[in-house]
Structure 1
Amino acid sequence: MQSPPTLTDIATLAAHRRRTRDTALFLHDEAILEVKEKLIDVNRTFTRPCIITGQPKPWAAAFPQAKIVPDDEILDLQEQAHDLAIHAMSLHWANDPVGQLVQMRRSLQPDGLAIAVLPGGRTLHELRTALAEAESRITGGLSPRIAPMAEIRDLGALLQRAGFALPVADSLPLATRYADAFRLMHELRHMGEANALAERDRRPPPRALFPLAAALYAENFPSEGGIAATFELVFLSGWAPSSTQQQPLRPGSARQRLADALGTDEQQAGDTATPRRD
């Protein structure tokens, strides 16, 4: 069986994360606020939570009772040891995201909750466009410079592949503004989110690349004297399967006709149902 291609250079990612500055982790702050809101909506008390993340500091402060686990390929989790597992802003760097989710599910007690939050497909689309156009003009080709971000529909499918019950996926768009593209790229480095792709071009970039990309960015995506930058946080949630969970009805097992529920007369195929006026 052929192994999937390696996405992330793990050693480079670790080096980038060591240069992280707390003041640049605003995406983690937003993710934490949203996760807490979701937990309030669940209306259940969790007593054995764990959090998988490459940026432990903000998550440990927000959830002091949780076990903090590095986002290694093999997670430091015991089977059925937790009632809540959160994968926090790291899944987009995983070489095997489904494997990470499977390990989360196995760490949960039956009917335990898993939440994963990660950047979605709209994240940094402006920067991708500007870099791609600039590189195409200068070299006639493209090289990977920003980690690929999956669309929400594809991320939702990962939950099903990992064996979660009652999967849900939703997103939170965040509109931000920077003085210019250089300020944005500077902050990405301080987030620990600089280019750590295994297939990145290791050669020094052409000297004209980033100035041209910055000019194209400012021309195409202006915002109040600066530039617009979009981030999208995708939230995935699912439950460890349990016999106590609500189960979908088998086809043909409904106890009430759809026509009765809609207040219409049942018609043959090709006819039009008209509302009853009883």
Structure 2
Amino acid sequence: MSGPTIFDRDLLSRRRARAMALGPATFLLDRVAEELAERLSVVLRSFERAADLDTPTDALRAAFAESGKVKSLERASIISAGDLEVLTDEQAKPFDAAALDLVVSGLALQFVNDLPGALVQVRRALKPDGLLLAAMIGGDTLNELRAAFAQAESEVEGGLSPRVAPFADIRDLGSLMQRAGFALPVIDSDRVTVRYESPIALMRDLRAMGATNILVERRRAPLRRATLRRMMEIYAERFADGDGRLRATFEIVWLSGWTPHESQQKPLKPGSARRRLADALGTQEIPAGEKPGES
């Protein structure tokens, strides 16, 4: 069974299409595509059949074309199929088990309703020793906008409404990867700070990314002018630099993991070490319960 429906993915598709038609803001995705291609370049193998999972533009396709690592990169999507979300190809047909050598994704997995289930689907579609390499938006993203809206709504309207998505925390993603069956998972993150003249300029960029509010539980009534005005004041008061420009944080979380294979490194069994840690460190081993200096 899938979890609760958090995101309106049909609305996401419409807003991404509108952003593409009006001229998308791709600076964040272009940066991610370049970094993913660089991370793939250090992997000492090539990939015959790969799938790009829901990346909004062709940025990954262009970046990987230069690397020569990927022979074939097809589109993949997560779609709802009854109570499950299923990994499908361009014709919306589910991938066969162990069909792919590589799955990549740029700034898309944060909008999947059932992320644990999606990771299981990816692992199922990968061959043994296949690789998942992805970037997604992390939990500290837009913390300034979230805080300014929360304070403004509390003051003006006497309550809060969900306006910024509850993105996954990096501390939880490692365990999700392991639960999905990936070996050797690596999770890390970095933060990109973008400076704007005003919160309106930030919101304009979010619209051009197709990344405005798609929460199912979002407030459907139009934003009140008084709330917007107060939010802008709070943002300027709390998150402005010395030159008056406003900070906006985007946390990028990087995920990689391999499907299990007998050739991969495995941890030693407990008690199988041939050398004591104290000897390796050049220190004296102290039995439990004793203090240094006691005989």
Give the TM interval when normalised to the shorter protein: over 0.9
- The within-5 A match list for 1:213-224 is 213-223=231-241, 224=243
Deviation sequence 1:51-103 (CA, Å, 0-9, x none): 10151332333335311113323211332121111122111111100111111
1:110 is paired with a residue whose SS is strand
1:166 aligns with 2:184: yes
Asked if 1 retains the 8 angstrom alpha-carbon contact of 2:6 and 2:217, the reply is: yes
1:270 aligns with 2:269: no
2:222 is paired with a residue whose SS is coil
RMSD over aligned CA atoms reads 1.7
Could you list the structure 1 runs, at least 4 aligned residues long, displaced by more than 4 angstroms after superposition: none
- The within-5 A match list for 1:60-139 is 60-64=61-65, 65-72=72-79, 73-76=85-88, 77-139=95-157
Q: Distance in 1 between matches of 2:32 and 2:96?
A: 25
Comparing 64-73 with 228-237, which one deviates more in the overlay?
A: 64-73
How much has 1:23 moved relative to structure 2?
Answer: 4.4
1:204 aligns with 2:211: no
Choose which of 197, 206, 210 in structure 2 pairs with 1:192.
210
How much has 1:273 moved relative to structure 2?
Answer: 6.6
Deviation sequence 1:243-270 (CA, Å, 0-9, x none): 1111111111111111221223333223
Deviation sequence 1:147-192 (CA, Å, 0-9, x none): 1112211122211111100111000210110110001001101101
Asked if 1 retains the 8 angstrom alpha-carbon contact of 2:52 and 2:74, the reply is: yes
Report the number of matched residues.
273
Asked if 1 retains the 8 angstrom alpha-carbon contact of 2:138 and 2:168, the reply is: yes
Could you list the runs of 5+ residues in structure 2 that have no partner in the other structure?
66-71, 80-84, 89-94
The amino acid of 1:206's aligned partner reads: R
TM-score, reference length from structure 2:
0.87
1:71 is paired with a residue whose SS is strand
Q: Distance in 2 between matches of 1:210 and 1:149?
A: 23
How much has 1:202 moved relative to structure 2?
Answer: 1.0
Asked if 2 retains the 8 angstrom alpha-carbon contact of 1:114 and 1:238, the reply is: yes
Q: Distance in 1 between matches of 2:56 and 2:184?
A: 28
Q: Distance in 1 between matches of 2:28 and 2:77?
A: 18
1:243 aligns with 2:262: yes
Q: Distance in 2 between matches of 1:33 and 1:82?
A: 22
Deviation sequence 1:176-233 (CA, Å, 0-9, x none): 1011000100110110101110111112222211121111111110133321111110
TM-score, reference length from structure 1:
0.92
The amino acid of 2:265's aligned partner reads: Q
1:148 aligns with 2:166: yes
Could you list the runs of 5+ residues in structure 1 that have no partner in the other structure?
none
Asked if 2 retains the 8 angstrom alpha-carbon contact of 1:119 and 1:232, the reply is: yes
Q: Distance in 2 between matches of 1:84 and 1:272?
A: 52
Percent identity (aligned): 48
Q: Distance in 2 between matches of 1:144 and 1:267?
A: 54
Asked if 2 retains the 8 angstrom alpha-carbon contact of 1:135 and 1:141, the reply is: yes
Asked if 2 retains the 8 angstrom alpha-carbon contact of 1:178 and 1:228, the reply is: yes
Asked if 2 retains the 8 angstrom alpha-carbon contact of 1:20 and 1:192, the reply is: yes
The amino acid of 2:8's aligned partner reads: D
